[in-house]
Structure 1
């Protein structure tokens, strides 16, 4: 099967598949390159493959470790533990088992939630933080409209509510996640050709089972606890980079008070999936920041 990790990793030279037991679960990660460790975490509805365009670029200077978080891809899909604070502990234990005292860490979408939680809860183990197009959940999420605003020219994020529903989504979508994936990429990409049919099939293959749908929706169902946890977080004293396409403004609003060492970069003519649409620009921003 051409969409398995064993086949996909052959398309990204000098990277390997790896598995590790941490915090009561099993994580899959891909690793390649030499130098300082750079942990990268994908978001919904993607897998480690989301980083395949930037991995070879970043691996020229860094040891790149792309982790499929709890519930994603080839990682385990336990019944619980999807609060971002706990998922950050998954990543923390991974870094310690790999022998790292400090790491650079970044994430996109839900992966950005986990990366931020890692940096906040394990600040002594974090060198620098990279947030791609998405801030950590905060009380502002409760003000998201339940209905599309008349005349608004932005995409209404209905899936944030839909994914809160338990049991029904997996009954409706088992074997049919390509419908959701196709819709999300069509509506959240500016450059449609940046995500080809092969990419979409990779993600549909990863999300089509009932367990995969249940686990990925659990990332969303933990938002109320994530928001409560966010209220206890103190200001970071490490360098933070925010890279935004369509999410630049919300990233700017969220991160401005998160650290005294913030850099913000806007990618023009780009949607939510910055890694797919603008991989070279994104990789350069990350490299420049880490240097």
Structure 2
């Protein structure tokens, strides 16, 4: 059995190290919450109304540390790793976004949180959208950052962008191709989707590459993408049955990435949409311009009704 080695690696990666993104404030605690067929690694800190920060592909909940440090001043901040990624468990399935929305619901239930603001990025947008559609009464405000939502708005046109080749890249042969070469694969995304690749620094690259090299992580990442067709079917069905989201929504795009197209996407899925652009940033908003991202999110959470 390799389980002791896996646990040792997980323990090592959870500790502060030189090759790591900015750490969370010391007052944050971590929990392993078992729910919905997965064990979700969750960071919790601060007091006040709850806000949930959901990461995307190529990163983990670690990306949100500067945002969490700001919001904890007047919020209870909850930051999960998506199933299969980071230090969460690596189940065989459940990577459709409705199932992962169930993960978020289970985490909130275990923490005794009835409603929360959502701040999401990349695949986190997709999980957050499914959660908001299924549990609108639990979402006060919703910030989506720089990624489309399957089946919503110009999804089919977005899929034609050659930069999104990885949406169809997966399967056992692909896993064998990237085994031991996780850093090479991930560098492609960090380089191509940034306004300036130097802003996604070496420490962050080493940190995330190590996490994605954990057993089952790359398989889980591929499964996130392979579920997009089902996600599109699910989202269209939910919109047809329930109508658009009603809570206040902020659609943020990186200036050198989705930009104002993020608002075009979300106006197809929500009625009350504000838009914003993270300046001097590509897709990796928390690495490229964290100060501006935090300011935009903070302003929306402080003023939206």
Whether the 8 Å contact between 1:44 and 1:109 is mirrored in structure 2 is yes
TM-score (norm 2): 0.87
Distance 2:116 2:160 in 1: 38
Correspondence for 2:33: 20
What is the alpha-carbon distance in structure 2 between the residues aligned to residue 147 and residue 86 of structure 1?
Answer: 27
1:169: Cα distance to partner?
1.9
Instruction: Output one character per residue of 1:22-79: Cα deviation in whole Å (capped at 9) or x when no partner.
Output: 1121000111122111101111111111112222112122111111011111101111
The equivalent residue for 1:50 is 63
SS in 1 for 2:52: strand
Aligned partner of 1:274 in structure 2 is: 285
Unaligned 5+ runs, structure 2: 1-8
Tell me, in whole angstroms, the C-alpha distance in 1 between the residues paired with 2:196 and 2:161: 27
Contact 2:56 2:121 in 1 (8 A): yes
Residue of structure 2 in register with 1:181 after alignment: 186
Distance 1:147 1:104 in 2: 31
SS of 1:92's partner is: helix
Partner residue in 1 for 2:164: 157
Tell me, yes or no, if structure 1 residue 262 matches structure 2 residue 284: no
Instruction: Report if the CA contact (8 A) 1:53-1:276 is conserved.
Output: no
Q: Which residue of 27, 50, 57 corresponds with 1:37?
A: 50
Q: 1:241 aligns with which of 214, 232, 250?
A: 250
Q: Tell me the distance in 2 between the aligned counterparts of 1:131 and 1:278.
A: 16
The 8 Å contact of residues 194 and 282 in structure 2, kept in 1 or not, is answered as: yes
Asked if 2 retains the 8 angstrom alpha-carbon contact of 1:174 and 1:209, the reply is no
Displacement after TM superposition at 1:257 (Å): 2.9
Structure 1: runs of 5 or more not aligned? 149-155
1:96 and 2:105 matched: no
Secondary structure of the residue aligned to 1:271 is coil
- The Cα shift of 1:98 comes to 0.6
Give the 5 Å matches for 1:78-93. 78-93=91-106
CA distance in 2, matches of 1:84, 1:145: 18
Change (3 A) 1:102 1:167: same
**In the alignment, is residue 68 of structure 1 matched against residue 81 of structure 2?**
yes
User: Offset at 1:144?
Assistant: 4.8
SS, match of residue 246 in structure 2: coil
Matched, 1:250 2:257: no
Question: What CA deviation, in whole Å up to 9, does each residue of 1:62-119 have, x standing for no partner?
Answer: 1111110111111011111111011001101111111111111121100111011111
Is the 8 Å Cα contact of residues 30 and 41 (structure 2) preserved in structure 1?
yes
Change (3 A) 1:62 1:210: same
